[in-house]
Each structure stands twice: as C-alpha cells, then as structure tokens.
Amino acid sequence: MRLGTRSLILPVLLAGFALAASAVPRGMWPGTALLSLGSGVAALSLMALAAVLGARSKGVESLFGGLDRVYETHKWLGVWALVFASVHLLFKADAPGWDTAAIVTLPGPATRFVRQLSFVALMLIVLLALNRRIPYTTWRWWHKLSGPQFLVVIAHWTTIRSPIALASAAGAWLAILSALGVAGAAYKLLLYPLLSQHARYRLRSVSASDSAVHLDLVPVGRKIPFAPGQFAFLSLERDGLREPHPFTIASAEQADGSLVFMVRALGDYIERLVREAEPGLVAQVHAPFGRFERVPGGGPELWIAGGVGVTPFMAWLQDPDAHGLEQVTLFHFSTPGRELPATVDLAGMARARGVELVGITEGPASLEFRDRFARVAAGPQASDVRVSVCGPPGLLRVVRQLMRDAGLREDQLRYELFAFR
C-alpha cells in the first residue's frame, strides 16, 4: 500500500488534535480554545511534513510511488496548513484554568509580531504557489522562502504561551516533526544541488515545431542511468533558463548515454526554452525520478496520451527489453495545429514495435476512442487489461469513468500526474 494525500493528512490531523486535547484538562475540551490549539498543532505538523516531502528524498518517493505523487501531496499539505492556521488565528488558544507557559520567553510585542508574521508568510507562500499566472522564475524563488518561513512558525510555537510543554507527548510530536522539517528544508535549499544525482549534458540537436521542441542531449562526462518512463529536472546553463524544471525522458537508455526530451510550450519558462534552445548549450540534469514504468500483465494494454503526455510512451516504445508490445493500442490525443516536432516519428516508432497507434483529435468525447476502449475492456481478457494514462486531469477522469463503466478494477490503471505546479 502506497502513501497518498488522504492517507497522510488525515492521520496527522487526528494525531494533532488528539495530542492537543491531551495537553488540557478533559473537562475543558469543548470550545473554541481547544479548536484553536489543535488547529495550530495540525498546521505546524502539516508544514513540517511539506518540508520533508519537498526534499525529493528517494525513500519518500518510494513510499508514495513516484515523485509526482509526492509533489501532489506536498501541495495539499500547504493548502491544509493554511486552512488550519487560519482557524488557529481566529480563536484564542487559551482558556481559564489552562496551565500555560512559553518554551522561550520574548517581550510581548515580539511574540505578537512573530505570531502574525508566521501566518502572513504561510498565506503568501501557499497563494503564490497555487497561482499559475505568476512567472515560473518568480514562483520558484518565492517558494524557496518556505524553508526560512517554517523557522518563523517554529519561533511562534516556542514563544507563545501554550499548555503544550516541550516534555509532553504533544511537545515531543512537534519537536520531532519540526526537526525533520528543518532538516528537509535545509537539505533542499543548501545540500541538494551538491549531493543529489546529477550530471552535465550538452544539447546535440534541437528540432522545434510552432509549440514544442525536441531536445537531444549527450553527457559531457558521466551518464545517468534511468528506466523508460522516468523524468528528470533539466536546467540549462543560460540566464533565464537555469531554473530546474521537470520533463519526462522521451527515450530509452542508450549506449552513448544520450537523453531526449520533448517539451511543449505551456508556460512562460517553457515558451522561452522553446525559443532559445540551440545545439551546444550545456545543461544540468538531475535524475531519475518517477515510477511510471510499464508493467505488462500478459493481456491487452491501452496506452492513453494527451499531447506531450506521449513522451513516456515514446520511451516505452524504444525499450529494447520490452516484450508483448503487439498487444498494445496507443491512443494519442492531439490538437490540430499543435503537432509534434518533425524529428518525432511516432507512427514509425509504433509500427516498428507492432503497436497500434490511434490518433484522436476530437478529445476524450471521441466516439472512436470510447468504442475501441469499450471493445478491449469487454474482451475475453478483460481481467488482464492494463490501462496507462499520461495527460491532463480531465483525460484521466474520463478514462476512470470508462473503466468503471466497463467493470475494470482500479488496480488495472497506472497514471502519471501531468503537472506539479
């Protein structure tokens, strides 16, 4: 069983409120004071875990089944931390009869300033992180402040008068999570660029269409091993393009260590990358990440790609160790006028491996797609069908509904989340 957003957040919230309740007399549980106290414990706990998840640890990635799931949960940890911090701010976490004290004593004005600064900083970080209209460069640097901002939240906890003593169960819980959060934030901010697996690559060739670019890179020194379907963080050594950005590797591992990325112009950073990428540029590649690997089950396979979501399937098609591809049907959803770069011969790749390629330009409502999906799902090997999806959330929702209509199980589905931000 993999960890997920709900399976992490719900237990943490329950633990936070239970530990907060254990710090005050039982007869004084009802009321807004305990609601505020529990919300404060919950908010700090969620922020600490968000910092841990943001460190891109391989161990954490394995627990969640992929870095895409880690980042999805990371985002919701921040959102719910803001929700509970708001509740904590609305009500006073104190009541007559509570035995309260500060772990660290500061003058009253300083304590109030730290309290309000912690909330304002959290609100700004979360709102900026969720605003997709902010340029990627600006968003990334604002998001870097989440680590130092977490220190402000810890300062608020330790300086405010509270019934939670450091030696209590709730105090130990907050201390441990705070230490983990600080360690995760410090590692990501200071040590990750040095200690994570990365290598320098040089752009060998660039092929672009009006809205996408095909990048072929070769290692300058050592190469990075990876599995087809995984992704990397790419940072070009040019002003304006240095911010690491995640892209799926659109090729299988080659003898010369080369990597291929196919990038669609979907935002300000990527639009600039499409315009300015040229042979000879050097890039830093941090890899590999993700767990979107093909797991054949001996029956029919439906690969469903939305636009640039076809990149992991391109890697699967080029995998020399892949078997049973003659049972694969690849549905590629595309928008007229947003064709793949000329160097990408998707039809030729599919034909060479015996894969049936079905191009769809009408969107998920296409009758051809629904009819063909239903025929495979209703076939004699329905229980062995494997469905793999990489595309926008709307496409995934449609596929899930089609699977339910056909009686397919959820464990017959594999998918890669299409975007982190």
Per-residue pLDDT at 137 exceeds 70: no
Apex 301 CA angle, 295 and 302, nearest 5: 115
Per-residue pLDDT at 332 exceeds 70: yes
* Structure confidence at residue 144 (pLDDT): 76
Weakest-pLDDT range from 42-46, 138-142, 295-299, 308-312: 138-142
* Structure confidence at residue 69 (pLDDT): 92
> From start to end of 252-392, where are the E strands?
259-264, 282-289, 301-306, 328-333, 356-360, 386-390
pTM, to two decimals: 0.86
**Higher model confidence: residue 60 or residue 148?**
60
**Higher model confidence: residue 80 or residue 275?**
80
Q: Residues with Cβ < 8 Å from 122, sequence gap 6 or more?
A: 43, 47, 81, 82, 85, 149, 153
DSSP 197-215: -EEEEEEEEEEE-SSEEEE
- The residues that bridge with 217 in the sheet, in sequence order, are 203, 259
- Render pLDDT for 244-271 as a digit per residue (tens, 0 to 9): 888 999 999 999 999 999 888 666 777 7
User: Which one-letter DSSP state was computed for residue 354?
Assistant: T
Return the sign of the alpha-carbon dihedral for residues 80, 86, 91, 97: positive
Asked if 250 and 261 touch (Cβ cutoff 8 Å), the reply is yes
**Higher model confidence: residue 113 or residue 399?**
399
* Structure confidence at residue 195 (pLDDT): 87
* Structure confidence at residue 268 (pLDDT): 72
Weakest-pLDDT range from 93-97, 123-127, 378-382: 123-127
Weakest-pLDDT range from 147-156, 264-273, 401-410: 264-273
Fold of domain 198-289: Elongation Factor Tu (Ef-tu); domain 3 (2.40.30)
Q: Where are the domains positioned within the chain?
A: 5-195, 198-289, 301-416
Amino acid in position 212 = A
Weakest-pLDDT range from 4-8, 100-104, 122-126: 122-126
**Higher model confidence: residue 276 or residue 44?**
44
Question: What CATH class has 301-416?
Answer: alpha beta
Mean pLDDT of 5-24: 96
Joined together, the tokens standing for residue 250 give 């659109």
* Structure confidence at residue 418 (pLDDT): 67
Report how far residue 129's alpha carbon sits from residue 125's, in angstroms, rounded to the nearest whole number: 6
Mean pLDDT of 232-253: 90
- Render pLDDT for 347-395 as a digit per residue (tens, 0 to 9): 999 999 999 999 999 888 899 999 999 999 888 888 899 999 999 899 9
* Structure confidence at residue 128 (pLDDT): 66
Average pLDDT value for the chain: 89
pLDDT band at residue 43 using 50, 70 and 90 as cut-offs: very high
* Structure confidence at residue 61 (pLDDT): 93
* Structure confidence at residue 136 (pLDDT): 66
Per-residue pLDDT at 421 exceeds 60: no
Taking only Cα atoms into account, the Rg of the chain, rounded to an integer number of angstroms, comes to: 25
Report how far residue 58's alpha carbon sits from residue 192's, in angstroms, rounded to the nearest whole number: 12
* Structure confidence at residue 212 (pLDDT): 77
Asked if 22 and 163 touch (Cβ cutoff 8 Å), the reply is no
* Structure confidence at residue 272 (pLDDT): 82
* Structure confidence at residue 37 (pLDDT): 96
Burial of 15 (0-12, 13-18, 19+ CB in 10 A): middle
Q: Residues with Cβ < 8 Å from 281, sequence gap 6 or more?
A: 202, 203, 236, 237, 238
- Render pLDDT for 175-221 as a digit per residue (tens, 0 to 9): 999 999 999 999 998 898 888 899 999 999 998 776 678 899 999 99
Per-residue pLDDT at 141 exceeds 90: no
Amino acid in position 332 = H
